[in-house]
Amino acid sequence: MRKICLSCFLLGWLWPVSGLSQLMLRDEALANPENEPVEVHPVPHARQLKWQETEFYAFFHYGMNTYTGLEWGNGDEDESLFAPTAAPDPRQWLEVVQAAGMKGGIAVVKHHDGFCLWPTETTEHNVTRSGNDFGRAVNIPRDFAAAAKELGMKYGFYISPWDRNSRYYGTDKYVKDVFLRQCAELAQYGTDQFEMWFDGANGGTGFYGGERGTRNIDRSTYYDVPNLRDTVHKVCPDCVLWGVGGEARWIGNEAGWAGETNWSTENRDYAPEKNGMYGSENGWFWLPGESDAKATNRGWFYHDGESPLSPERLFQMYLETVGRNATLILNIPPNKAGVLPPASVNALKGMGDLIKKRLGHDLALSSIIAASEVRMPGATRNYGVTCMTDGDKNTYWATNDGTTNAVITLTWPEKQTVHYVELMEPIAKGQRIRKFKIETSEDGTSWTRRASTVETTTIGYKRIIPLNGSTSNSYDIGYPVKALRVTIEDSRACPLLSKVGVY
């Protein structure tokens, strides 16, 4: 020890000071040759990143309840009640939602009633005992996954952990021999599932193999979540386990609404109904929000007489979820023939048209863009302003370390009419920005603040700001602008943006 200290001392004494600092500089440059900003932790797992990029996808509640008219079957329904009036067509489901701009979908393959929409070996309560040939031929996970792959869409399954039919529910045997095996069986239809939806509704009254009664479980321990996650990830490495699985969080309501301030970080003991909508700035885990909402006016399952919400209302939901750093999983129930009814098809098409019309033509691409500061480039990459308009999610504009505010200005040779501003952070580096504002100018010199009633706090993966401040009446005549500026007023570390869009 003494010897080491002595040699350190001698080295320090003999080594010329400039030589030592040069060495240190060289080492630092070697450690970070691209001058990349350091992450602000927690950061998303690679599978959470891919999941977030799915942004907007469908939920399809179809099953025993479609034929009984219930929302929560008790588990004692006779299998013969499942009797589709035609061959269910998951490809039609996905084609319709793809036309509305969705990138994928999640099919319910077992709801709380325990009836399985594929020929499982784990229970007799499945399609093979259904009431007609159409029913007996059903295999939703197989057909849904195959159609998604053909259409280039993402797919996943809702498989209810709670099973009101199983006699084993409440025991370890259920978790091991029924539930985990069912999850494993689903992998035979595809291992590239992007999400498994593990519903938070768990335990209560049910049929339970004829014993009937109430079975309560402690959902924080019962499903052996670490083992569940390992088991699923071993076969489906990109599959995010929503809800009980703890890799994405419920937004806390079923209204298609996320908080204007919405952090993707959370603590394990958070209360969904209270802070699901907002997340926690200093949360310990990356736990991004997903908003589940109905596109129709009745239940999650199909009910005779139901009607879809208007395209305007659905567009509002889009702004209030995808536009607020959450993903939107929008439910459209297939009917008794196993297809999406014409009224829903039209409403979704209307929604898709609004998204395309209002957010499809990015005026930022024809602007001259400048920033108050640009980070020093690295050996082969730069962090310049064009990184925000190049359409490449892997490039981003950045400031130097130590800077936590900046101004980005977009100018057009001719006046433009603008309605929305879209901002995206490269969240692989953590969610950083905590306050910003947007202003427009008609002459390039005097500025007016827009969306002043909106909390312009977090951005996250994506934020869409209606400049008139209203998501329900967001498409008015728009503002004529010669220039628009985004001022980042506070950030947890140097701010980064991978996109600025203006519509």
Cα Rg, the chain, nearest whole Å:
26
> With contact defined as beta carbons under 8 Å apart, do 58 and 331 qualify?
yes
Closest distance of CB 500 from ligand FUL, Å: 34
> With contact defined as beta carbons under 8 Å apart, do 328 and 291 qualify?
yes
Closest distance of CB 143 from ligand FUL, Å: 20
Q: 164 or 358: whose CB is closer to ligand FUL?
A: 164
- Rounded Cα distance between 186 and 120, Å, is 9
**Out of 71, 353, 362, 442, the residue judged to bind ligand FUL by CB under 6 A:** 71
- Sequence-distant (6+) residues with CB within 8 A of 305 are 298
**Out of 292, 422, 425, 439, the residue judged to bind ligand FUL by CB under 6 A:** 292
Range 220-239, binding ligand FUL (CB under 6 A): none
Q: 73 or 283: whose CB is closer to ligand FUL?
A: 73
CA distances from 155 to 110, 124, 398 (A): 15, 26, 34
Range 127-186, binding ligand FUL (CB under 6 A): none
Q: Which stretch binds ligand FUL (CB under 6 A): 24-32, 193-201, 311-319, 433-441?
A: 193-201
Q: 327 or 468: whose CB is closer to ligand FUL?
A: 327
Q: Which stretch binds ligand FUL (CB under 6 A): 43-51, 194-202, 407-415, 426-434?
A: 194-202
Closest distance of CB 82 from ligand FUL, Å: 17
- Rounded Cα distance between 365 and 416, Å, is 12
Q: Does 300 bind ligand FUL (CB under 6 A)?
A: yes
> With contact defined as beta carbons under 8 Å apart, do 48 and 289 qualify?
no
Q: In the bound complex, which residue of the shown chain has the CB atom lying closest to ligand FUL?
A: 201
Closest distance of CB 41 from ligand FUL, Å: 31
- Rounded Cα distance between 172 and 179, Å, is 10
Closest distance of CB 72 from ligand FUL, Å: 6
Closest distance of CB 405 from ligand FUL, Å: 41
DSSP track, 223-270: T-HHHHHHHHHHH-TT-EEEETTSSBEE-S-SBS---SS--SEE-TT-
Could you count the other beta carbons within 10 Å of the beta carbon of residue 63? Answer: 30
Q: Does 201 bind ligand FUL (CB under 6 A)?
A: yes
CA distances from 126 to 165, 283, 354, 449 (A): 11, 41, 40, 58
Q: 93 or 383: whose CB is closer to ligand FUL?
A: 93
Residues in contact with ligand FUL by the rule CB under 6 A: 71-72, 199-201, 292, 300
